[in-house]
Chain A
Amino acid sequence: MRQIRQWGPGLLLVAPSLIVLGIFVYGFMGWTANLSFTSARGRNLTGDYVGFDNYRELADERGVTGQRFGIDTQNVLIFTAVFVAGSLIAGLVMALLLDRGVRGESFFRSVFIFPMAISFIAIAIVWRWLLSNGTGTQLTGLNKLFSASGLGFLANDWFKSDSGWAIAAVALPAGWALSGYVMALFLAGIRGVPDDLREAARVDGAREPQVLWHVVRPMLLPVTMSALVILAHISLKTFDLIYAMDLKSLKIDTPALFMWFTTFEGGFYGRGAAIAMLLLAGVAVVIIPYIWYSVRAERRS
């Protein structure tokens, strides 16, 4: 009885959110998983149990579905790598610069973080123009800036490149939008490092880079992990940015877009569910080590 009194109210308090989460997140996850093993088609989801056929089709490079999914997987890996690394580095650099005590710090902080307030659709429309690869009278955006400032050799095909790296150009606007947020995370992390620790290091004769590396860096690890997880899952589910940038172009196609088009335009719900499950697995690869890490860290403290 006493025990119930101890954990009862707590449980009662979280019960609604547990139930809602259970149904709308985990319940639907299970439902999607189940759907991915069927040949479900159309709005009525008529189809039979087909085992791993949908997954096999996605892996089969002889069919067009498999070929497209292969391109998509490669694209999303490149996008994630460039976007996550780029945002982390840019965010960290901006945070370190601001931490030096620049004049008008709050102004710059706002300037750097504002792009996050813009919807991805609007960002895509603007960057579609900035990253245009037109020539002659069609020369616009960054390429025009390059040629006007004598840096013409930097002109690029961006997201219309044939090289297979076209998607890396889309990481540019995505990173532009989110590096300010990463900066805010890092800045908070850096500010969280007690000044006496730094002072102590300086007294011991450490130079600034050494203070950063040996004192600040280890204490930024939790922040870096959160930023990494947030960026990685955003990267896997990025949809609107690519959709508005160049509709249905295979050069920048990703599993998230393929999932949407095949499910809601073609009515292939089974195949769409299979792609969704693979995306979930991709997120899990990032999230599960993070959860494991934070649980262990909590236990230790």
Chain B
Amino acid sequence: MRRSRRAFLALTVAGALVATSACSKDSGGSNEPKVDKVEVMSWWVGPGEADGLNAMIALLKTQHPEITFENSGVAGGAGTNAKAQLATRLAANNPPDSYQRHAGQEIATDIKNGDVEDLTYLYQRNGWNTLFPKGLIDTITSNGKIYSVPVNIHRSNLMWFIPKTLTDLGIAAPPKTWDEFLVQAAAIKAKGKTAISIGPAWTQKHLLENVLLGELGVDKYTGLWNGKTDWTGADVTAALQKYTKIISYSDIASAGADWQPAMDRVIEGAAVYNVMGDWAAAYLKGDKKLTYKDGWNVVNSPGTDGVYNFLSDSFTLPVGAPHKAAAEIWLTLCGSKEGQDAFNPLKGSIPARTDADKSKYTGYLATALTDWTNPSTKVVGSLTHGVVANDAWNAEIDTALGLFVKNGDAAAFGTAVKTSYEKNK
């Protein structure tokens, strides 16, 4: 009896504590702008990315010691979990002060819902319109307005290989076009090796976007995403059929469980090429301890020389952010040279700005930065990583692509993607 009474007492006290803490949160969450705190929601919790974020937090602390940084990181591949949690908070009108999104169309739904503020004024105030490449600005502008600040740039159109494998097979150089790839692939297959390794569904989509880019060229590729290129046109159908042919030389029947196991097959020499984004550089260098150029090498995926197929992590200002003034300071830091140079060398990406400190980027990143800042480089956006297609269309493309990989019907895939574009634009 005495024990149960004590338990009851404990419960009551605990309940009262919860109630008071809830109350104090309510009174603190009024809508007037406060500069004392900024809550940032991201999915940067893994090694490398978390280090980069911490470097930015440290920078914020030295520049603005009055601001406490609340790091609401949510673990989970490519932000799927963070996005689910964010959706709940946005629906409950309880947004963080700033949250992470892939730059581009991934944010389109938020814009439509009126969840995010127009940040064009920050671009004008900081001169970002000229400091970021024009191709990037064009891609992230929606009806003349920009709603997010890109912190880093990754590249999608890359083809990875081990130089020794090529020498052993007597291949002089990686292919410059997909046609050349198919010739090489036939020879590689004859020698009992896989020409190109592949992983789960999203890596198949990643390969598709770069085949389309390589076969159609920059203008038609860009047109695919704004309705100017006909998905059922003869050129697109031909490119899609080429994709089926390329896939037939891959190990798709026993595809790796993720992109790393797929890359492992290239490292082991069982497969020759792999098309993947440049986060693979950190994997090859860090996890696999291979040296750039000798141990592994990378070229632009076939037919995409002079093109930068990018994806980018960016931060937003939600409507009704409790600490708007502090959020603006955070976003300004995200777009600043110091902020980007603190974050990117640790994350293994390059800054979105073209005036970054080049000495901080070595090995592969130096090459990437040279390409990115080269004024003649053409910038296009990645489909798989949320830049060019909104969430709804992207999810419909997933369904269509799953069926296409299964049945190889290029015309049906083109029609399905075209129809869902019309329905979801």
A residues adjacent to B (C-beta < 8 A): 41-44, 63-65, 67-68, 128-129, 132-138, 157, 160, 162, 246-251, 253, 261-262, 264-268
Contacts and interface: CB of A to CB of B under 8 A. Distances in A.
B162 to A, nearest CB: 14
B111 to A, nearest CB: 11
Nearest to A65: B399
Interface in B256-286: 257, 265, 268, 270
A41 B392 contact: yes
Given A43-B90, A63-B416, A162-B253, 7 more contacts: A43-B91, A63-B419, A137-B270, A138-B270, A160-B254, A247-B201, A250-B405
Contact of A266 (B201, B265, B391): B391
A65 B257 CA distance: 25
B253 A64 contact: no
Contacts of B391: 265-267
Contact of A248 (B200, B270, B406): B200
B253 A268 contact: no
Contacts of B405: 250
Interface string B351-393: 0000000000000000000000000000000000000000110
A31 to B, nearest CB: 14
A248 B398 contact: yes
Contacts of A247: 200-202
Contacts of B420: 64
Nearest to B88: A43
Contact of A64 (B87, B109, B400): B400
A264 B87 contact: yes
Contact of B395 (A137, A249, A268): A268
Given A63-B416, A248-B200, A266 B392 contact: yes
B324 to A, nearest CB: 21
A262 B254 contact: no
Interface in B120-146: none
Given A133-B253, A137-B270, A253 B392 contact: no
Interface string B61-91: 0000000000000000000000110010011
A133 B406 CA distance: 18
Contacts of B399: 64-65, 68, 262
Contacts of A248: 200-202, 398, 402
B403 interface: yes
B289 interface: no
B395 A160 contact: no
Given A134-B254, A135-B254, A266-B395, A68 B403 contact: yes
Contacts of A262: 395, 399
Nearest to B402: A250
Nearest to B91: A43
A103 B265 CA distance: 47
B49 interface: no
A64 B403 contact: yes
B119 interface: no
B396 interface: yes
* Most chain A beta carbons < 10 A, residue from B90, B109, B255, B402: B402
A138 B265 contact: yes
B87 A253 contact: no
The 10 closest A-B pairs by CB, nearest first: A266-B395, A248-B201, A250-B402, A133-B254, A64-B416, A265-B395, A64-B400, A247-B200, A266-B392, A134-B254
Contacts of B257: 128-129, 132, 246
Contacts of B400: 64
Nearest to B268: A137
Contacts of A160: 253-255
B394 A266 contact: yes
Contacts of A251: 406
Given A63-B416, A267-B391, A42 B202 contact: no
Contacts of B202: 247-248
A132 B396 contact: no
Interface in B82-110: 83-84, 87, 90-91, 109
A246 B200 contact: yes
B201 A68 contact: no
A68 B402 contact: yes
A42 B109 contact: yes
A137 B72 CA distance: 42
Contact of B109 (A43, A132, A134, A261): A43
B167 interface: no
Nearest to B84: A264
B251 to A, nearest CB: 8
Contacts of A249: 200-201, 402
Contact of A43 (B87, B395, B403): B87
* Most chain B beta carbons < 10 A, residue from A162, A250, A262, A268: A250
Contacts of B25: none
A70 to B, nearest CB: 10
15 contacts: A42-B112, A43-B113, A64-B400, A64-B420, A65-B396, A65-B399, A128-B257, A132-B254, A248-B200, A248-B201, A248-B402, A249-B402, A266-B394, A268-B392, A268-B395
Contacts of B90: 43
Contacts of A266: 391-392, 394-396
A10 B395 CA distance: 50
Contacts of A68: 399, 402-403
Given A137-B268, A138-B254, A267 B398 contact: no
Contacts of A138: 254, 265, 270
A264 B91 CA distance: 13
Contacts of B113: 42-44
A137 B192 CA distance: 13
* Most chain B beta carbons < 10 A, residue from A134, A137, A262, A268: A134
A248 B420 CA distance: 19
Interface in B214-256: 253-255
A262 B424 CA distance: 13
A67 B395 contact: no
Given A43-B91, A267-B391, A267-B392, A261 B398 contact: yes
A68 B420 CA distance: 15
A110 to B, nearest CB: 31
Contacts of B254: 132-135, 138, 157, 160
A132 B201 CA distance: 16
B399 to A, nearest CB: 5
